Amino acid sequence: MPKRRPAQWFRILIPDIIEALRNKDLGTVKKFLTDLMPVDVVEILERLPPTEQAVMFRLLPKEKAADVLSEMSKDMVESLVENLTSKEVKEIFASMDPDDRVRLLDELPASLVEKVISSLPKGKRDEIVVLLNYPAGSAGHRMRPEFARIKGDMVVKDAISYLRKKPYDEELLREIYVTGPKRELLGVITLPRLVKASPKEKVKEIMKKTPFFINAHDHQEKAAKIMKDYDLINLPVVDSEGRILGILTIDDIMDVIEEEATEDIHKLGGMGSPEPEEEYHRLTIIERVKKRIPWLVTLLILELITATVIKNFDKLLNSAIFLSYFIPMLIGTGGNTGTQSVTLTVRAIALGEIEIMHFLKVLLRELLTGIWMGTLLGIVGASVAFVIVKSLRVSSVVFLGLLSVVLFSNAFGIILPFIFKKLRIDPAVSSSPLITTLIDIGGLFLYFSIAMIML
């Protein structure tokens, strides 16, 4: 049995291949690149200056070059396109899948987009225009307009003959879509099923009706959920009249899932939506500051309300300075509780596990959870307070403060994402920094109010 190379075996040879490139030993470089996957080629290209990237890129076969280009970041694509001739750009982009082509064009500057589109044949240009006309993030914008299609009225013999004449690749033949006279989607059939059927049977009699499809204007996240829930490898995209326009493949959906997850994480961190292909090590210092400073300034202003709350209770603090000992513990516990709550809620909403109709049920469950957690944490906090100040009354204030803050935080972490969802705003906007800041304000107010009553 042949030995398998480790998945990233090529990395130990990268210095040698770069040296061969600089010594003009292009034959060795070309042979080395033949065995690599597109994503591995990109890793090598990232270590080269733009001019050497162009030299290495020219050594790739046309089809592989197109696959490599689709794996590149927008900065690399932009730099590479500027170092290639118009003829080379035309050949490479023409070899790409339409959906990959559109994704890259979305990310390039307008001047380069114009250069690329003008270099393509009319048919390829028309494909791009159709996809770009759909909103960014929609199924139509992401779909692949090439797919295997046969008419339902065809007999099996004619359908097989028709497919043989078409330049469909193996991936497209996994599922063959069956349409009516007006291209309306009727069903789907696999190639093995078609081959095994009687030559005189009609396709529509042996096809499987298509229970799953998505409208071109629906959001790509909805398509990802359908494919994930029902383990689909392809999902047909239709217009308002049910006519098939293209398909979404499992490869497309994996990219969608990664993009949507990245977007939610950025929003939960209070940094807004990431740009396409945005990677940590590619951001400049100025870009990092621009992403993070707006939320930080907003939260800083909100935190000034915390200072106002403390100022309003300054007489209480002057007469019972020991209350300040436990402020960090209370607001820290409240922030942590709220962060846990909001994270679980946003995730459940994103996965479709809970909807607006479930609000009261979810809120009641979390209130009960908050009571249990607040009681347990309150006992721990009150015990610490008693050790420090030797006062049962102060310990009681700390206990009730922790109980009320945890209960408030847990409930607020549930309510805020539901409010955003009701307002048709991404629930992920109810980020950890935002929830922590708001809980600081509410938590201090509750703590001081309890202290005023009991002391």
Claim to verify: residue 16 and residue 62 sit in the same structural domain: yes
Quickly state the pLDDT bin for 276 (edges 50, 70, 90).
very low
β-bridge mates for residue 248, sequence order: 235
369-373 long-range CB contacts below 8 Å, 24 or more apart?
A: 369/410, 370/337, 370/406, 370/407, 370/408, 370/409, 370/410, 370/411, 371/403, 371/407, 373/337, 373/406, 373/410
| Strand residue runs (E) in 190-314 | 208-209, 214-215, 234-238, 244-249
Most confident of 349-358, 400-409, 411-420: 400-409
Which residue intervals of 166-210 are DSSP H helices? 191-196, 203-206
SS3 322: helix
Claim to verify: residue 104 and residue 38 sit in the same structural domain: yes
The CATH number for 356's domain is 1.10.357.20
Which residue intervals of 313-391 are DSSP H helices? 314-319, 327-350, 359-389
**What is residue 1's predicted lDDT score, i.e. its pLDDT?**
37
Give the β-pairing of 185-189 and 176-179.
antiparallel
Whether 277 maps to a domain, the answer reads: no
CA distances from 119 to 90, 96, 217, 402, 412 (A): 5, 14, 29, 67, 55
Amino acid at 293: I
What backbone torsions phi and psi does residue 186 show, to the nearest 5 degrees? Answer: -105, -40
What is the token pair recorded at 231? 């383990």
The CATH number for 60's domain is 1.25.60.10
Cβ-contact 407, 374 below 8 angstroms: yes
Claim to verify: residue 76 and residue 29 sit in the same structural domain: yes
pLDDT digits (tens, 9 = 90+) for 288-326: 787 778 878 888 888 888 888 888 888 888 888 888 899
SS3 149: strand
What is the token pair recorded at 446? 């509750």
What range defines the domain where residue 188 resides? 149-249
Quickly state the pLDDT bin for 9 (edges 50, 70, 90).
low
Whether 24 maps to a domain, the answer reads: yes
Mean pLDDT of 83-102: 78
Claim to verify: residue 110 and residue 157 sit in the same structural domain: no
Claim to verify: residue 125 and residue 185 sit in the same structural domain: no
13 pLDDT more than 80? no
Q: What is the dihedral of CA 211, 214, 219, 221, to 10 degrees?
A: 40
Cβ-contact 95, 65 below 8 angstroms: yes
Claim to verify: residue 311 and residue 439 sit in the same structural domain: yes
280 pLDDT more than 60? no
Query: Considering its fold, how many domains does the chain have in total?
Result: 3
pLDDT digits (tens, 9 = 90+) for 182-224: 899 999 999 999 999 999 999 999 999 877 899 999 988 888 8
Of the given ranges (229-233, 261-265, 352-356, 398-402), which has the lowest mean pLDDT? 261-265
pTM: 0.64
Whether 222 maps to a domain, the answer reads: yes
Whether 345 maps to a domain, the answer reads: yes
Whether 176 maps to a domain, the answer reads: yes
Mean pLDDT of 360-368: 91
Spatial neighbors of 172 by CB under 8 A, at least 6 apart, are 146, 147, 148
**What is residue 267's predicted lDDT score, i.e. its pLDDT?**
62
Claim to verify: residue 96 and residue 33 sit in the same structural domain: yes
pLDDT digits (tens, 9 = 90+) for 34-57: 878 888 888 888 888 888 888 888
Quickly state the pLDDT bin for 279 (edges 50, 70, 90).
low
Whether 265 maps to a domain, the answer reads: no
**What is residue 4's predicted lDDT score, i.e. its pLDDT?**
42
Residue 182 is given by DSSP the state: T
% of the chain residues with pLDDT over 70: 92
Whether 271 maps to a domain, the answer reads: no
β-bridge mates for residue 262, sequence order: none
**What is residue 271's predicted lDDT score, i.e. its pLDDT?**
60
SS3 222: helix
Mean pLDDT of the chain: 84
**What is residue 108's predicted lDDT score, i.e. its pLDDT?**
72
CA 320 to chain centre: 50
The CATH number for 240's domain is 3.10.580.10
**What is residue 120's predicted lDDT score, i.e. its pLDDT?**
76
Helix axes 359-389, 392-422, angle to 10 degrees: 150
**What is residue 8's predicted lDDT score, i.e. its pLDDT?**
58
Cβ-contact 284, 182 below 8 angstroms: no
Claim to verify: residue 296 and residue 419 sit in the same structural domain: yes
Quickly state the pLDDT bin for 372 (edges 50, 70, 90).
very high
Claim to verify: residue 100 and residue 185 sit in the same structural domain: no
Claim to verify: residue 427 and residue 291 sit in the same structural domain: yes
455 pLDDT more than 90? no
Quickly state the pLDDT bin for 343 (edges 50, 70, 90).
confident
What is the token pair recorded at 376? 């347990």
Claim to verify: residue 114 and residue 208 sit in the same structural domain: no
pLDDT digits (tens, 9 = 90+) for 21-39: 888 888 888 888 887 888 8
Amino acid at 275: E
State how far the Cα of 453 lies from the Cα of 396, in Å rounded to an integer: 12
- Please say which residue of 86, 104, 133 terminates a domain: 133
352-357 long-range CB contacts below 8 Å, 24 or more apart?
A: 352/225, 356/418, 356/421, 356/422
96 pLDDT more than 90? no
Of the given ranges (9-13, 248-252, 281-285), which has the lowest mean pLDDT? 281-285
- Please say which residue of 77, 98, 133 terminates a domain: 133
- Please say which residue of 249, 274, 303 terminates a domain: 249
Mean pLDDT of 69-80: 80
What single string gives the DSSP state of each residue in 18-37?
A: HHHHHTT-HHHHHHHHHTS-
State how far the Cα of 228 lies from the Cα of 375, in Å rounded to an integer: 40
What is the token pair recorded at 159? 């359908």
Spatial neighbors of 265 by CB under 8 A, at least 6 apart, are none
Claim to verify: residue 118 and residue 156 sit in the same structural domain: no
pLDDT digits (tens, 9 = 90+) for 126-174: 778 788 888 888 999 889 888 999 999 999 999 999 999 888 888 888 8
Cβ-contact 432, 343 below 8 angstroms: yes
User: What b/e sequence results for 242-268 when a residue is b if at least 16 CB atoms lie within 10 Å of its CB, and e otherwise?
Assistant: bebbbbbbeebbebbbebbeebbebbb
State how far the Cα of 11 lies from the Cα of 22, in Å rounded to an integer: 18
Amino acid at 21: L
11 pLDDT more than 80? no
Order across the sheet with 244-249: list the strands.
214-215, 234-238, 244-249
**Cα–Cα nearest to 115, from 100, 106, 105, 127:** 105
Mean pLDDT of 344-362: 85
What is the token pair recorded at 5? 């190379």
Whether 259 maps to a domain, the answer reads: no
Quickly state the pLDDT bin for 283 (edges 50, 70, 90).
low
**What is residue 87's predicted lDDT score, i.e. its pLDDT?**
79
Q: Which residue has the tokens 């770069």?
A: 18
